[in-house]
């Protein structure tokens, strides 16, 4: 109940943030403007529109998750509003989780809104919006939740700017994990290969949530893949939130 109260307030506070509207505006502008690229291409105008629609949902969602998420806890400490909260009968982990779920609600609304606009736009242009398109949106949301959990963790540990840089770096590396297992032959039977294979499972694998190319090209994706990717995201996110709670418990405020 207390978690929900914090979540509700976090959501209301984030909704008032002007940065959110600027990002959503640019997201929608990119989405709607993608048709212009289709004009100068040869064929597959709808494919290009779908690509840019899903990319804008993802990119601007990640920017919101990073820039709003990394200041979630820090802002409360900086403005000293944290004291009015921690003096109440509320565990610190409840505060962290409340903050996280508030952001999750916000991202759910933004992703849902942009997703509906994207699907409607594709349909108006005569494109097919099938299950894969919605699976892609669902996995983008899961990716955003995982990025937000990183942002929440670093919001408890560092300043927003440093936190944003670290989370963005993790996001980039998390999309390049394929490199860790796709090694040249001369790595065979070396300890480096074993180490990099272990790292493959340690480093967050954001590419699990990327089925945007399949959605844009109308290539079907197995439901099992979507479910296991969501399970991966849920477990990783839970671990990060646990770490964020521990970090905030130990923080001297």
Partner 1 sequence: MRKMIITMLIVAMAFTGTTIAQKRADAIKAEHRAEEVLYFPNERLLDSFTCGHSSVVADILWLKCIQYTSQQFHGDFKFTLLDRMLNTITRLDPHFVDVYRWGSVFLAMLKRDNDASITLLERGIEHNPGRWELPFEIARTYVLNRHDEVMGAKWMAVAAATGEPPKFVVDWAKNLQQRHGLDEVERGMWLEIIQNSNDPNMREIAERKIVEIELRLACEVLNEAAARYEASKGAKPGAISDLVSAAIITGMPVDPLGGEFFVNARGVIQNTTILDSQLEERRVVLEGFIQQYRNKHGRWPVTLDELKTEFKALPTNPYLDRDWVYDPGTGSVH
> Where does this chain bind partner 1 (CB under 8 A)?
37, 40-44, 47-48, 51-52, 55, 58-59, 171-172, 175-176, 178-179, 206-207, 209-210, 212-214, 216-217, 219
The alpha carbon torsion through 159, 161, 167, 171 (nearest 10 deg) reads 180
- CB within 8 A of 217, min separation 6: which ones? 47
Residue 82 has a CB neighbour count (10 Å cut-off) of 19
Q: How far is the CB of 86 from partner 1 (least distance, A)?
A: 36
What is the distance between the alpha carbons of residues 173 and 175, in angstroms, rounded to a whole number? 5
Q: How far is the CB of 209 from partner 1 (least distance, A)?
A: 8
DSSP state of 207: G
Q: How far is the CB of 140 from partner 1 (least distance, A)?
A: 9
Q: How far is the CB of 34 from partner 1 (least distance, A)?
A: 9
Q: Which two tokens stand for residue 211?
A: 């089925």
What is the distance between the alpha carbons of residues 220 and 136, in angstroms, rounded to a whole number? 11
Query: Toward partner 1, which CB reaches closer, 158 or 207?
Result: 207
Q: How far is the CB of 54 from partner 1 (least distance, A)?
A: 8
Q: Considering Cα of 137, then 106, then 20, then 71, what sign does the dihedral take?
A: negative
Q: How far is the CB of 12 from partner 1 (least distance, A)?
A: 30
Query: Toward partner 1, which CB reaches closer, 66 or 72?
Result: 66
- CB within 8 A of 76, min separation 6: which ones? 82, 85
DSSP state of 250: T
Query: Toward partner 1, which CB reaches closer, 42 or 192?
Result: 42
Query: Toward partner 1, which CB reaches closer, 101 or 135?
Result: 135
For residue 182, give the 3-state DSSP assignment: coil
Query: Toward partner 1, which CB reaches closer, 11 or 168?
Result: 168
Query: Toward partner 1, which CB reaches closer, 52 or 100?
Result: 52
Helix, strand, coil share of the chain (percent; to 5): 80, 0, 20
């Amino acid at each position: 109940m207390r978690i929900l109260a914090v979540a509700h307030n976090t959501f209301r506070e984030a909704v008032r943030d002007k940065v959110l509207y600027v990002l959503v505006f640019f997201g929608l502008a990119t989405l709607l403007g993608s048709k212009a690229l289709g004009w100068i291409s040869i064929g597959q105008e709808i494919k290009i529109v779908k690509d840019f629609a899903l990319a804008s949902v993802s990119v601007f969602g990640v920017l919101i998750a990073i820039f709003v998420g990394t200041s979630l806890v820090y802002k409360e400490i900086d403005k000293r509003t944290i004291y009015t909260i921690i003096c109440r009968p509320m565990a610190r982990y409840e505060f962290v989780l409340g903050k996280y779920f508030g952001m999750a609600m916000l991202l759910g609304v933004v992703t849902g809104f942009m997703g509906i606009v994207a699907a409607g736009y594709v349909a108006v242009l005569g494109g097919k919006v099938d299950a894969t398109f919605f699976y892609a949106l669902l996995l983008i949301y899961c990716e955003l939740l995982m990025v937000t959990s990183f942002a929440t963790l670093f919001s408890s540990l560092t300043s927003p700017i440093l936190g944003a840089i670290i989370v963005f770096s993790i996001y980039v590396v998390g999309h390049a994990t394929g490199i860790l297992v796709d090694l040249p032959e001369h790595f065979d039977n070396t300890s480096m290969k074993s180490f990099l294979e272990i790292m493959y499972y340690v480093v967050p694998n954001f590419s699990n949530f990327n089925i945007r190319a399949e959605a844009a090209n109308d290539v079907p994706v197995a439901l099992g893949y979507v479910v296991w990717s969501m399970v991966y995201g849920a477990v990783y996110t839970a671990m990060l939130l646990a770490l964020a709670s521990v970090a905030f418990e130990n923080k001297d405020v």
